[in-house]
């Protein structure tokens, strides 16, 4: 008995060590959740995981203990069986004490591991307990979609756990019976004691019953079948698999009853017959019969057979990705654009992006990183109203790069260099005479130009995109060590953190906990730490947000916003998703088949404060999480106005929708089946590789609208063709935020696509000659993004060209801008000049009437002198003056004045021609 207690004690010690290993990170996470103000989320998650661990561990322990205890105490078999045993095992006298000693250890370990694994499935239980109806029924069973998203996964999980537990119990019970000689292999065959036989039959009945429940639940999984022409239940699934699964569920139930009946009868005939029937129906009904039905009935007439199910797939996929909300409009792609149209759309023209992300990031790095330990990681595109003008802006955060610190010692990485500093920001379309970007904000400390951009008052970036690598998992602030604020010439400016971010570590116990968490003894020994010291961890934007809300999926690109009072905030889009939406076609990369942009998260770059806002209250999944975690999600109207102005439609979500819409804009099953109108997102050669064009933001006035707005835009080609067929816009500004519009081009009209424009640029003799010349002079030509810009009912293409020296670290300079419109292409140093080259030299015959010329004073005097030549000279002088004013307007980007001067120039030239 003492040895048995020692074994139990050993098991408890092992389990205890595992628990202690979880206590330290649990305690530090608790402190961190207190810092960010989401302790209720932490406690709720812990409760779900804890109760699930406890319930499964206790259930596994009780079931195994009861069955193995029964097996260990069952009636002893005939003593002669032990003599006939062919396995050569030690005698029962030797084995029974070992079983009593180690059985508790094995049971505790199995229960502990089972509970630990089960606790990881807490989200399934949470969804089941907080399920919210979708208000839409599936087309096969007529059940609300909440059954498939929330309820069915829970019951299948429960069934899987129970089946695995019974199977494990059967295996371990069999081992005990073998060791106890109640199950013996002799020369006369297998010998099984009566008690063991009854026990096995009961376990087999339970196993078969659970298998029957599994088959019944498997019927509902047919709505995710990949067998047919489309994703979801097909003709074969409905007419073969569905009835067979129902039959298997009934047969398993009958077979389980046969096991119970067999307990009172000798032999195993009923059980054997039942198992053979179940196996035969399983193999024939789910393997052979569906294949034959597919070949004989479906393949010869697939469209007729699969037509109704194709319609289900189209309807459900459009619902799952929000494609059913897309508005469709016609876009004639007229070639009637002129200077007056450009003048009407001057805001659109002024916000055409000439700076591409890749060369601009290199330029920012060369001009504004200032020190080697700073780094610009990404370029964000946003919009600001500057002095009453709606402007598209590109900005980037100057973050700390720990990899470039020198020397990389502990005090530098964790106490001295704690934060990045400031931003750079500039317009998307303005360049200096040297071909470099102009800045709204630049330098250290941040210096704003007089353009109306918000002054950055809190430039320190303690929380950003680059933090989170192993070398800088944490930063210590408010220490005795000097904390670098920013460099100033040959000197450095130091500061002390004044914010609320970080976990206070005033006591030895907290220091000990964090020292154990990070494996760093210096946290205990350093004299630089004080009672005011705080430790900042989870400083990466995505990691920080994911720690609080791991049940959401987040966009890959957080973007930076400068508020009206000059503070820096990160905004990150959050998605709700599932792979359980019936009939919806999944995304190939990760299998999800339903997604909504339901959450907007903000992070203060200085304090690390995290806020979650509900962006789509119609989504049942986010409502379920909102019910489970009260207080986690705030209404979007509660977001500060200076942040809410900068929310935008997420690119990741938009790309998924665009790829699906390229296929699922076809709503007719026959057209869909024949792929008669299949689209694709255009592909271009970028850096020598064929890549799908990325969507891009721009400010423009949509056709039929009264004002410009910030939109996200992508293009479509017909499949395997290069011409344009449509473009899609996601509206970002309130009150139209989130609305998608697709503009279809006339199918009978050729509209050049991006690859065709690329080819025409390459084939233009002047442009190709110039590019070849630049590439041969030790320079590299970088071709920027090709942007299609809709203006009124027309379309122009704009592509910037950058020139950089061939050596490493060269500075890209914007040297030319290519504009393509219809059959015309122009390449000039500026966008205005390229536009003027195409639209400013259009033939005067487009005017329907000739305006009379009113001679000016000089002309009148010349006429009085009676000299026709003097009148011509006066008109020529006037034309030259008008041309000068037009060029001034062009340089200012004042298209309204430019158009008016062009009109006056035309009238003067007509008068001159009449002379």
Burial of 313 (0-12, 13-18, 19+ CB in 10 A): buried
Strands 534-537, 474-477: pairing is antiparallel
Q: For residue 236, name the pLDDT band (cuts at 50, 70, 90).
A: very high
Most confident of 582-586, 769-773, 840-844: 582-586
User: What does the pLDDT look like over 544-578, one tens digit per residue?
Assistant: 999 999 999 999 999 999 999 999 999 999 999 99
Q: What is the per-residue DSSP string for 569-614?
A: EEEEEEEEEES--TTPPPPTTT---EEEEEEEEEEETTT--EEEEE
pLDDT of residue 848: 28
DSSP readout, 519-547?
T-THHHH-TT--TT-EEEE--BHHHHHHH
- Write out the E strands in 719-843: 726-731, 740-744, 779-783, 787-791, 794-805, 813-821, 824-828
Contact status, residue 475 vs residue 484, Cβ threshold 8 Å: no
Provide the pLDDT confidence category of residue 850 given band limits of 50, 70 and 90. very low
Given a cut of 60, whether residue 484 has pLDDT beyond it is yes
pLDDT at residue 631 in the model: 92
Q: Decide: helix, strand or coil at residue 804.
A: strand
pLDDT at 717: 95
Write down the pLDDT at residue 189.
Answer: 53
pLDDT in tens, 150-204: 999 999 999 999 999 999 999 999 888 877 767 665 555 566 777 888 899 999 9
pLDDT of residue 834: 92
Q: Is the pLDDT of residue 643 over 90?
A: yes
**pLDDT above 80 (res 351):** yes
User: What's the rounded Cα separation, in Å, for the pair 146 and 528?
Assistant: 55
Q: Over 90: is that where the pLDDT of 873 sits?
A: no
Share of the chain above pLDDT 70, in %: 89
The model's pLDDT over 594-615, given as tens digits with 9 standing for 90+, comes to 999 999 999 999 999 999 999 9
- Max Cα distance, the chain (Å): 145
Task: Name residues whose C-beta falls within 8 Å of residue 527's C-beta, 6 or more positions apart in sequence.
Answer: 480
Q: pLDDT higher for 233 or 852? A: 233
Instruction: Give Cα separations from 137 to 142, 144, 246, 319 (angstroms).
Output: 5, 4, 21, 12
Alpha-carbon torsion (34, 39, 45, 46), positive or negative: positive
Residue 1 reports pLDDT greater than 50: no
Pure H helices in 822-894? 831-839, 857-864, 868-892
Higher pLDDT, 20 or 546: 546
Question: 617: pLDDT confidence band, cut at 50, 70 and 90?
Answer: very high
**For position 682, what pLDDT does the model report?**
94
Look at residue 6 in the predicted model and tell me its pLDDT.
57
Length of the chain: 915
pLDDT at 854 over 50: no
pLDDT at 205: 95
* pLDDT, tens digit, 9 for 90 and up, residues 803-841: 988 777 778 999 999 999 988 999 999 999 999 999 874
20 or 118, which is more confident? 118
**Is the bond preceding 607 in cis, omega lying within 30 degrees of 0?**
no
d(CA 250, CA 219): 13
Count CB-CB contacts under 10 A for residue 727: 20
Q: What are phi and psi of 475, to 5 degrees?
A: -135, 145
Residue appearing with tokens 């049942």: 620
With helix as H, strand as E and coil as C, how does 337-353 read? CCHHHHHHCHHHHHCCC
Least reliable range by pLDDT among 3-12, 562-571, 585-594, 617-626: 3-12
Identify which has the larger pLDDT, 345 or 877: 345
**797 in Cβ contact with 755 (< 8 Å):** no
Provide the phi-psi class of 906: left if phi over 0, else alpha when psi is between -120 and 50, else beta: alpha
Cα–Cα nearest to 901, from 852, 909, 791: 909
pLDDT in tens, 506-547: 999 999 999 999 989 999 999 999 999 999 999 999 999 999
pLDDT higher than threshold 90 for residue 336: no
Residue 900 has a pLDDT of: 74
* pLDDT at position 881: 76
pLDDT of residue 603: 97
Q: How confident is the model at residue 7 (pLDDT cuts 50, 70, 90)?
A: low
Query: Nearest-CA neighbor of 560 among 394, 411, 432?
Result: 394
List pLDDT tens digits, range 396-445: 999 998 888 888 899 999 999 999 999 999 999 998 888 899 999 999 99
543-557, 796-810, 872-886, 890-904: the lowest-pLDDT one: 890-904
Question: Is residue 709 over pLDDT 70?
Answer: yes
CA gap 387, 450 in Å, rounded: 10
> pLDDT category, 860, cuts 50, 70, 90?
very low
CB 519 within 8 A of CB 28: no
Segment of 79-83, 778-782, 893-897 carrying the highest mean pLDDT: 778-782
Mean pLDDT in residue range 143-149: 97
Residue 855: pLDDT over 70: no
Describe the crossing of helices 508-518 and 2-36 by its angle, rounded to 10 degrees.
100
Per-residue pLDDT tens for 256-296? Answer: 999 999 888 887 888 899 999 999 999 999 999 999 999 99
Residue 221 and residue 619: Cα distance in Å, rounded?
A: 23
pLDDT of residue 774: 84
């Amino acid at each position: 008995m003492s040895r048995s207690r020692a074994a139990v004690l050993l098991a408890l010690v092992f389990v205890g060590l595992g628990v202690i290993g979880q206590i330290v990170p649990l305690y530090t996470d608790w402190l961190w959740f207190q810092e960010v103000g989401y302790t209720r989320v932490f406690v709720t998650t812990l409760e779900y995981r804890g109760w699930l661990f406890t319930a499964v561990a206790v259930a596994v322990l009780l079931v195994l203990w009861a069955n193995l205890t029964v097996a260990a105490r069952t009636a002893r078999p005939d003593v002669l069986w032990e003599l006939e045993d062919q396995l050569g095992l030690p005698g029962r006298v030797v084995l029974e004490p070992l079983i009593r000693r180690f059985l508790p250890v094995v049971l505790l370990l199995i229960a502990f591991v089972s509970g630990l694994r089960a606790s990881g499935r807490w989200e399934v239980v949470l969804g089941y307990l907080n399920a919210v109806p979708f208000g839409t029924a599936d087309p096969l069973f007529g059940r609300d979609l909440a059954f498939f998203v929330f309820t069915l996964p829970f019951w299948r999980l429960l069934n899987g756990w129970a089946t695995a537990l019974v199977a494990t119990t059967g295996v371990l019970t069999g081992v005990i019976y073998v060791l106890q000689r109640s199950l013996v292999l002799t020369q006369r065959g297998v010998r099984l004691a009566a008690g063991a036989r009854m026990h096995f039959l009961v376990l087999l009945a339970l196993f078969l019953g659970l298998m029957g429940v599994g088959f019944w639940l498997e019927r509902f999984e047919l709505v995710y079948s990949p067998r047919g022409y489309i994703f979801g239940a097909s003709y074969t699934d409905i007419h073969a698999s569905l009835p067979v699964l129902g039959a298997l569920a009934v047969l398993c139930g009958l077979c389980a009853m046969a096991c119970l009946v067999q307990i009172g009868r000798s032999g195993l005939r009923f059980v054997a017959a039942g198992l053979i029937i179940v196996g035969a129906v399983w193999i024939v009904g789910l393997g052979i019969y569906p294949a034959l039905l597919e070949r004989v009935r479906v393949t010869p007439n697939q469209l007729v057979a699969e037509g109704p199910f194709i319609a289900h797939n189209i309807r459900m996929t459009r619902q799952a990705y929000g494609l059913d909300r897309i508005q469709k409009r016609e876009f004639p792609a007229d070639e009637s654009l002129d200077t007056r149209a450009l003048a009407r759309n001057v805001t659109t023209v002024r916000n055409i992006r000439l700076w591409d992300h890749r060369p601009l990031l290199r330029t920012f790095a060369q001009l504004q990183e200032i020190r080697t330990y700073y780094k610009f990681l990404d370029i964000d595109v946003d919009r600001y109203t500057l002095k009453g003008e709606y402007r598209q802006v590109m900005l980037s955060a100057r973050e700390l790069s720990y990899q470039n610190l020198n020397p990389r010692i502990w005090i530098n990485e964790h106490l001295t260099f704690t934060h990045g500093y400031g931003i750079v920001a500039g317009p998307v379309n303005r360049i200096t005479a040297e071909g470099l970007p102009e800045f709204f904000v630049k330098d250290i400390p941040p210096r704003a130009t007089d353009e109306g951009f918000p002054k950055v008052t809190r430039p320190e970036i303690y929380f950003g995109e680059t933090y989170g690598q192993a070398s800088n998992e944490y930063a210590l602030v408010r220490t005795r060590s000097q904390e670098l604020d920013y460099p100033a010439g040959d000197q450095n400016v130091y500061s002390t953190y004044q914010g609320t971010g970080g976990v206070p570590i005033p006591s030895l116990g907290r220091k000990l906990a964090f020292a154990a968490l990070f494996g760093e003894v210096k946290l205990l020994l350093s004299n630089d730490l004080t009672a005011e010291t705080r430790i900042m961890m989870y400083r990466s934007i995505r990691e920080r947000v994911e720690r609080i809300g791991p049940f959401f999926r987040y966009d890959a690109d957080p973007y930076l916003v400068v508020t009206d009072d000059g503070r820096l905030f990160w905004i990150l889009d959050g998605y709700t998703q599932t792979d359980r939406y019936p009939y919806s076609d999944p995304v190939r990369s990760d299998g999800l088949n339903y997604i909504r942009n339901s959450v907007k998260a903000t992070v203060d770059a200085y304090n690390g404060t995290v806020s979650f806002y509900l962006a789509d209250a119609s989504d049942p999944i986010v409502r379920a999480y909102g019910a489970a975690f009260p207080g986690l999600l705030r209404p979007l109207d509660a977001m500060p106005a200076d942040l809410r102005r900068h929310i935008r439609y997420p690119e990741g979500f938009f790309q998924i929708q665009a790829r699906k819409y390229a296929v699922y804009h076809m709503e007719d099953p026959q057209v869909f089946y024949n792929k008669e109108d299949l689209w694709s997102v255009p592909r271009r050669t970028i850096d020598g590789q064929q890549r799908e064009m990325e969507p891009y933001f721009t400010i423009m006035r949509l056709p039929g609208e009264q004002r410009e707005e910030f939109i996200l835009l992508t293009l479509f080609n017909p499949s395997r063709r290069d011409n344009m067929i449509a473009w899609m816009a996601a509206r970002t500004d309130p009150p139209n935020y989130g609305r998608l519009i697709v503009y279809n081009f006339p199918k009978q009209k050729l509209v050049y696509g991006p690859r065709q424009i690329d080819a025409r640029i390459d084939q233009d003799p002047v442009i190709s000659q110039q590019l070849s010349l630049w590439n041969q002079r030790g320079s590299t030509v970088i071709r920027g993004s090709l942007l299609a810009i809709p203006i009124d009912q027309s379309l122009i293409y704009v592509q910037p060209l950058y020139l950089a020296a061939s050596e490493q670290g060269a500075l890209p300079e914007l040297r030319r801008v290519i504009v393509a419109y219809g059959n015309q292409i122009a390449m000039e140093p500026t966008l205005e000049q390229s536009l003027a080259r195409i639209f400013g030299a259009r033939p005067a015959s487009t005017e329907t009437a000739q305006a009379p010329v009113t001679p000016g004073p000089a002309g009148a005097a010349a006429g009085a002198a009676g000299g026709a030549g003097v009148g011509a000279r006066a008109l020529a002088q006037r034309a030259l003056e008008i041309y000068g004013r037009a060029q001034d307007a062009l340089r200012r980007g004042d298209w309204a004045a430019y158009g008016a001067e062009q009109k006056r120039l035309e009238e003067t030239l007509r008068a001159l021609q009449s002379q």
